[in-house]
Structure 1
Amino acid sequence: MPTEWKLFADLAERAGDKQVTVDASAGDTVDDALVELVEDRPAVGDRVLTDDGDLRSQINVMRNGTNVLVEEEGLETELEEGDELALFPPVSGG
């Protein structure tokens, strides 16, 4: 089962699309799906990952509308069939 990422703001611009399908299935983790996304769209990786390959602190990773980074399992949260994943860059305004 492929998994779809929804990308917002400059992340969509870097990916060339607002939605990107990756090869991640139920039982894989959110991190597995993120790795697939970054391998498929390296420009997204440049924006969301540090030079050490860690997720930048200002990036929000959502699974079914919940930020996985505030959940106990974090990026190791297992995917279930039909999950919706999304990446949000920091938002500022005034």
Structure 2
Amino acid sequence: MPTEWKLFADLAERAGDKHVTVETAAGDTVGDALDELVADRPAVGERVLTDDGDLRSQINVLRNGTNVLVEENGLATELEADDELALFPPVSGG
């Protein structure tokens, strides 16, 4: 099933698009979808993953507007049909 990622700020620049669709299957998790995104757009992985392949602490991952790292099972959250995923880099401003 196709799953769409929305990418914001420099992540969209690195991916070359604000929307990237990846293929996922029944039972896949947010982490599986992230793996697919990084495989398809390695420059995004360089920005969101540590050298060990872990998600950087300041990156936010949303599923249907909910931060999976805070309110759900993190990257182990199972995907459902028509889920929309989003990646946000650290936000700063003044």
TM-score for the superposition, normalised by structure 2 = 0.97
Q: Which runs of 5+ in 2 are unaligned?
A: none
Q: Is the 8 A contact 1:31 1:75 kept in 2?
A: yes
Q: 1:24 aligns to what? A: 24
Matched-pair contact (CA < 8 Å) for 1:25–1:80: no
3-state SS, counterpart of residue 25 of structure 2: coil
- CA shift, 1:61, in A, is 0.2
Residue deviations 1:57-82, cap 9 Å, x none?
00000000000001341110000001
Counterpart-to-counterpart distance in 2, 1:92 and 1:30:
25
- AA partner of residue 35 (structure 1): D
Percent identity over the alignment?
86
Q: How many residues align?
A: 94
**Does the 8 Å CA contact 1:11/1:44 hold for their aligned counterparts?**
yes
Deviation at 1:15, TM superposition (A): 0.1
TM-score by length of 1: 0.97
Match of 2:81 in 1: 81
